[in-house]
Amino acid sequence: MNQAHHHPRSLQGDRELSLSVEVFPPASVDARDRLIAGLALAAPAYVSVTYGAGGTTRDRTVDVVRRLMCETPLEVAAHLTCVSASRRDVDDMVRRYREDGIRRIVALRGDPPGGLEVAYVAHPRGYQRTADLVAGILGIGDFDVSVAAYPEKHPQSPDLAADIDTLEAKVDAGARRAITQFFFENQTYFAFFERVRRRAIEVPIVPGILPVVNLERVMSFAARCGASVPAWLVRRFEGLDGDEEARTRVGVEIAAAQIAELAEAGVGAFHIYCLNRPELVSAIRDRLAGASPAVAAA
């Protein structure tokens, strides 16, 4: 996979891999029910459900979270953003999560309504930054809070050092782990991990893994969030435009190889951005099963 094999001295986790998954709340009831059934079959370690900026998918997010909790044995993490929302609205949502029995929250700033090309402006009566949001959540309940990390730098950070300052503030506020933006070169993760540990940030840094099935869509995501797509990956999809089965197989192979190399270096937990295709998690697990340590569902 053209990836350098520089491994840090020690990463997190033991040898049993945990595969969790991120999904977004579907717009239709049929799609929601299919997603929930697929997640129950895939049995990830836990499911995180996204939440549109300013709560634009709030009711759908709550609906999916509640149904997952009622209809499956899966553990659920609910996302929460503070962009375009007052502190009161955000705090009300945290209390709603607490009443629903949610114990895990993924706390995110959220993108400005116009996208990342537009400067972020905090809501005048809202949380000013994600670290404040983390502190606010933990002031309401004893939640397990995860935050985001950006191995290639958040597009709106001046540099990686400033970005790591932001991560440090989120961890100091009480975040228990950071989940990374997706990346395709493991060396990117290893270099970031070393920088984070040199700053004495000791929480787990969980790699975010994006299985590529639709290359064009991934290129668009990557351009928006500042992630790089290497030439070797683009080449793997040449000539496969009309063959979704082949594209899926290649995407699963690449993701499984990426996870296997990270696991060999000692990483124990992975968060898979499955784009509402939980069967990809099962396929990745099956592919890993022959060549790596036991892959756990929890």
Catalytic residue numbers read 22
- Whole-angstrom distance, CA of residue 19 vs CA of residue 281: 8
Nearest Cα to 127, choosing from 108, 151, 143, 145?
Answer: 108
- Whole-angstrom distance, CA of residue 274 vs CA of residue 295: 17
- Whole-angstrom distance, CA of residue 86 vs CA of residue 128: 10
φ, ψ dihedrals at 77, nearest 5°: -115, 130
Cβ atoms of 136 and 109 within 8 Å: the answer is no
User: b/e string for 143-175 if b means 16 or more Cβ within 10 A?
Assistant: bbbbbbbbbbbbbbeeebeebbebbebbbebbb
Which helix (DSSP H) or strand (DSSP E) does residue 175 occupy? none
Taking the CA of residue 116 as centre, how many other CA atoms within 13 Å lie in the half-sphere pointing to its CB? Answer: 14
Q: Which amino acid is present at 263? A: A
Cβ atoms of 199 and 164 within 8 Å: the answer is yes
- Whole-angstrom distance, CA of residue 238 vs CA of residue 253: 15
Which helix (DSSP H) or strand (DSSP E) does residue 48 occupy? strand 47-49
Nearest Cα to 163, choosing from 138, 131, 132?
Answer: 131
Q: Quote the tokens at residue 191.
A: 């270099």
